[in-house]
Amino acid sequence: MKLFKASDYRFKELLEMDNAKLKELFTSHTTIDNGRFSQLMEYFDKVNQVRNHPGFTFQYHYNQYKHEVDKPYSYTQFMEHYRRKHAKIKGSMKLEHEAGKEVYIDFTGKKL
């Protein structure tokens, strides 16, 4: 409703528009362009580079971010913006092998 009230269109005009035009006018994600958001995006670039290191936690990096900037986002917004910028990509691979010829073992955790 906020987007509708902020738009300069009347209700009848919106009813006459097709879905493509309505999606263009009322996007599900808003575009934010300010210094605070820019700082967050720059920080996400650093965080994403070290994401695969052992012991990585978002809480630790959020606390670092909170101390680096003047007006930090809340943890919930921090995670929401991170997930929007770096959407999870599901990877999969099909292993084709002959039974009894090879054994595949998938280890997780720290190397010994």
List, run by run, the mean pLDDT of 10-residue segments along the chain (112 residues): 66 79 67 78 89 89 93 92 81 74 76 68
| Cα–Cα distance for residue pair 86/75, rounded to 1 Å | 16
**What is this structure's pTM?**
0.53
| 8 Å CB contact between 81 and 38 | no
Domain ranges of the chain: 1-30, 35-85
| 8 Å CB contact between 47 and 61 | yes
| Cα–Cα distance for residue pair 50/48, rounded to 1 Å | 6
- pLDDT recorded at residue 2: 64
| Cα–Cα distance for residue pair 93/33, rounded to 1 Å | 39
- pLDDT recorded at residue 74: 93
- pLDDT recorded at residue 104: 72
